[in-house]
Amino acid sequence: MGRWIAIVAGILLGAAAGYVVGSRGSGSHATQTQRFESRLEETRSELTDLRQQKQELQERLNQVTKEQERLAQENEILRKREVTDELVNGRGGELPAQPLK
């Protein structure tokens, strides 16, 4: 009878030791999973911020492009006025000599 008690006690101690070792392993696994999920959430947040910044930069680029086009049109108008003024007022310099025929 003492032998059976020793065997049952050994099995119970072994099971308890296995449970403790297993729970420690799963505890560290759970901790790693929590860290991973936390890092994943941070990465998602950073990605959202970067997408928003990209959108803002795209809008700024569009505004700058429109302003550049407007300035180019304005420059062309001013250049044409200047050429017209030079032709009308004679400030264009001397006309080139006509080639001999």
pLDDT at 100: 61
Please identify which residue in the block is written with the tokens 């308890």.
16
What is the token pair recorded at 60? 């700024």
What pLDDT digit, counting tens, does each position of 40-79 carry?
A: 999 999 999 999 999 999 999 999 999 999 999 999 999 9
CA 36 to CA 54: how far, in whole Å?
26
pTM above 0.75, yes or no: no
